[in-house]
Structure 1
Amino acid sequence: MSWWEWALLLLAGVGGGLTGSIAGLASLVSYPALLASGLPPVTANVTNTVALVFNGVGSISASRPELVGQARRLVPLSGAALLGGVTGTVLLLLTPAGGFERIVPFLIAGASVAILVQRPPRELAAEGARHSTRSQWGLALGVYAIAIYGGYFGAAAGVLMLAMFLLTTGTTVPRGNAAKNVLLFVANLVAAVGFALFADVAWAAVLPLAIGFFVGGRLGPRVVRRVDGTWLRRVIAVLGLGLALKLGFDAFG
């Protein structure tokens, strides 16, 4: 790996860690960087998932104030996230490489559109506080479904997880964001173990990306306490649509 590829992945990791903690968009930053470094799509995806574990470590360690009092809810939901991560990992391992390359443009496009149309998190939190169902079983099912997607690919899984958490629990944005970081960490961790054992991980690319993810993950919770990430989500969503078009032309052209 050349020095510029190492630097690219380090910067992508920091950017991905920040956007992942703030807006749940880490993979829309890091995955294109892995492709740019020359990795094929499936290898880039599994390498990204392994490195994302360090984003979770950084963001969770920086979110301890927001996690106080959430253990009772997060312990059973972590079980749902673990099962979802296992399911998504198995699906990816069983998907032919060519099939994955054709699916990814649609996943990225769908994630980008979801980001564009999503209402600001503070609005979702306000609505959740008014209409919260607080159904633990319904929340666990939602976590399981999103964790499947997270284990399979995961771009914008954080957006989906945070939106669901805010609408169903009525919690605040910082506390919902911290809970989202824990659940996605569980899904990513189990997927990373599966990929390390059964998939082709580019370990040379994991190191710079993981360092960047950890740094970005540590900084993200501090930023999310102070800023509205709406503009960031929109910029990345537009770039994501452009990436989806490019990958679509590559896959079907």
Structure 2
Amino acid sequence: MTSTEFSRVVIAATAAFLAGGINSVAGGGTLLSFPALVWLGLPSITANATSTVAIWPGSLGSIWGFRSEFGQVASRLKWLSISSLIGGGLGAILLRSTPASLFERLVPFLILFATILFIAEGPIQKKLRERSGIHGIGMAAALILTLFVAIYGGYFGAGVSIMMLSSLSFVGMTDILQRNALTSMFSLCVNGVAAILFISLGMVDWHYVVPMAIAAVVGGYGAAGLARRVGRVVVRRFVIVVGLAVSLILFVRLF
């Protein structure tokens, strides 16, 4: 490995380290890891697939944290897991089928959309907390809704947790911990099946995956402490600024 290649791996691993820490506190880490890989010169589709595979191991810790809630939502957990696996797989296949030139044009819009979702998370969470009683749309409709959210998650992924939290509100779930537990499992399934397909289809750059995966896991534990000391609001603002800046730069390059 040349010094230039080593430097590129260090940059990618640093982005993954920060992404892991940010994900453990505020979410939105993909808005750092994906643009970093694009900046390093990876094709957008390869960067997206590589980022998904590399960041996925860091999500395992959150599952353990919600283990007590899973027993309370066992019936929904089974069906939503199936829906998320199917949707995540379809999204990954859709990404594989998308022409590279088209995805390059979509990327600025996808990053901007994810950033807007991140900005809107506060008002969305406030609305969800205000809901009382069961006003669900029915499990069948909820599965269709979460299927489409999962397709987006398998295709790009940034902001999918916020979309899922909102979707679960329509199911009639009012307990925030149960919603967060299902969202964690949803993200694990969507990104997990997408990662498996990305690997099997040869869509990832292995020069970056392993160092980034290790860095993301370490960041989830190490950087999380720093992020908590800095404060969730500051971390969120940092992610929003990065997301807006990256989308602006990519829009300028595109047009």
* TM-score bracket, shorter-length normalisation: 0.7 to 0.9
Letter of the 1:72 counterpart: S
Structure 1 vs Structure 2 CA RMSD: 3.0
Show the counterpart of 1:41: 44
2:252 pairs with 1:244:
no
Partners of 2:219 and 2:161 lie apart in 1 by 15
Amino acid in the other structure paired with 2:106: I
Pick aligned residue for 2:114 from 111, 114, 121: 111
Aligned mates of 2:20, 2:215 — CA distance in 1: 7
Q: Which amino acid aligns with 1:156?
A: G
2:194 aligned residue: 191
Tell me, which stretches of 5 or more residues in structure 1 are unaligned? none
Is the CA contact 1:16–1:26 (under 8 Å) kept in the aligned structure 2?
A: yes
* Greater gyration radius: 2
Contact map agreement 2:22 2:224 (CA 8 A) in 1: no
1:1-253 correspondence to structure 2 within 5 Å = 2-120=5-123, 122-130=125-133, 132-133=135-136, 135-166=138-169, 168-172=172-176, 174-217=177-220, 229-252=232-255
Post-superposition Cα deviations, 1:150-204, rounded to whole Å, max 9, x if no partner, equal 11111111221123335641112x4422321211111111111111122431012
Residue type of the alignment partner of 1:109: L
User: What do residues 196-229 of structure 1 show as CA deviations (whole Å, max 9, x unaligned)?
Assistant: 1224310120112111222344579999999984
Give the TM-score normalised by the residue count of structure 2: 0.85
In the TM superposition, residue 36 of structure 1 has moved relative to its aligned partner by 2.9
Report the Cα distance in structure 1 between the residues aligned to 2:151 and 2:125, rounded to whole angstroms: 26
Instruction: Name the CA shift for 1:129/1:222 in 2 (closer, same or farther; >3 Å).
Output: farther
**Are 1:121 and 1:166, in contact at CA under 8 Å, matched by a contact in 2?**
no
Distance 1:152 1:143 in 2: 14
Question: Are residues 122 and 28 of structure 1, via their aligned partners in 2, closer, same or farther at CA, if it must alter by over 3 Å?
Answer: same
CA distance in 2, matches of 1:166, 1:31: 29
Tell me the secondary structure at the aligned position of residue 201 of structure 1. Answer: coil
Unaligned 5+ segments in structure 2 are none
Larger mean Cα displacement after TM superposition, 38-47 or 209-218? 209-218
Change (3 A) 1:74 1:83: same
What is the DSSP-based 3-state SS (H/G/I as helix, E as strand, rest coil) of the residue aligned with 1:169? coil
Is the Cα–Cα contact under 8 Å of residues 62 and 219 in structure 1 kept in the other structure? no
Whole-angstrom distance in 1 between the partners of 2:229 and 2:87: 32
TM-score (norm 1): 0.85
The 10-residue stretch of structure 1 (13-22 or 177-186) with the greater mean CA deviation from structure 2: 13-22
Deviations 1:12-62 (A, max 9, x none): 223222333433312112111212333221110110111232122232234
Aligned length: 251
Mean Cα displacement is larger for which, 20-29 or 218-227? Answer: 218-227
